Amino acid sequence: MGIDRTSRAQGCLLGQLAGDALGSLVEFQSPDEIRRSYPDGVRELADGGTWNTIAGQPTNALFAMGIAYAIQSGCDGKDLYQHIRQWSLDMPVEPALLDTIDKAAEEPPADYVHQQGWVMIAFQNALYQLLQASNLEEGVVDTIMRGGDTDTNAAICGALLGAVCGRDAIPAQWLDGLQNCRPEAGHPRVRHPRPECFWPVDVLELAEGLVKTRVVKHTAGYSIGNRTHVRSLFRENVEN
């Protein structure tokens, strides 16, 4: 039985949040520094890190392209990669982006550290992990161990893998940390309190609610080959 749409949506948000929180523990460190501190990989949510956050506290909310398609279609990683590559050929994108997509099929980015924050690194890494990682956990951990802008890279990777692999691919410790993360004022380990609306404790319910928002294709599409591409997508709320 395939992974249902709700599970993929939940996996996407959980993967993004967990990747972000795990990556924040070692953000801007080199691969050697990370290996010295975490010889077995950054695998557990914990308090502290570069910005001294509590376990599970999100710092970025970046998503890779293709997430919506993965959730809606139920495709696997290789199929999603091929769709992303085809879209890049169909649309007028920069040559650098085309090159990044092609490179991702063969290798991860050559340098994660000296161009921190550059979205091409995060994008190439996410596509590489989509094709090569044995599971979501290994893809996120491998991403973090490469250093650099670890929380951004892992958030994008986790979101994409979560959209493909679903909720059950999220390790139990990550899920528990996210569902119990309340960075509120007065907490002895919280230096930067967040409003309750930004807490990840209700992420499963949020994802389920988002799935109930149907994406409707606008009629202004255009055909390329035997595919119909939609210029605009409108969101329409529907009843249960």
**How does pLDDT run across 143-184, given as a tens digit for each residue?**
999 999 999 899 999 999 999 999 999 999 999 988 887 777
Please name the residues in contact with 6: beta carbons below 8 A apart, sequence gap of 6 or more.
207, 208, 211
Minimal CA–CA distance to 224: which of 129, 92, 100, 97? 92
Q: Are 164 and 2 in contact (CB under 8 A)?
A: no
Q: How far apart are CA 20 and CA 163, in angstroms?
A: 15
Q: Are 89 and 98 in contact (CB under 8 A)?
A: yes
Q: Is the pLDDT of residue 230 over 50?
A: no
Q: Is the pLDDT of residue 212 over 80?
A: no
Q: How far apart are CA 127 and CA 111, in angstroms?
A: 16
DSSP 94-119: -HHHHHHHHHHTT---S-SSTTTT-H
Going along the chain from its start, the domains and CATH numbers come out as 5-214 (1.10.4080.10)
Please name the residues in contact with 90: beta carbons below 8 A apart, sequence gap of 6 or more.
224, 227, 229
pLDDT (average), residues 201-212? 84
Q: How far apart are CA 240 and CA 224, in angstroms?
A: 35
State whether residue 199 is helix, strand or coil.
Answer: coil
- 82-140 pLDDT, tens digit per residue, is 988 887 887 767 788 889 889 999 999 999 988 754 788 988 999 999 999 999 999 99
Q: How far apart are CA 83 and CA 69, in angstroms?
A: 9
Q: Are 56 and 201 in contact (CB under 8 A)?
A: no
Can you give the pTM of this predicted structure?
A: 0.77
Q: Is the pLDDT of residue 55 over 90?
A: no
Q: Is the pLDDT of residue 220 over 50?
A: no
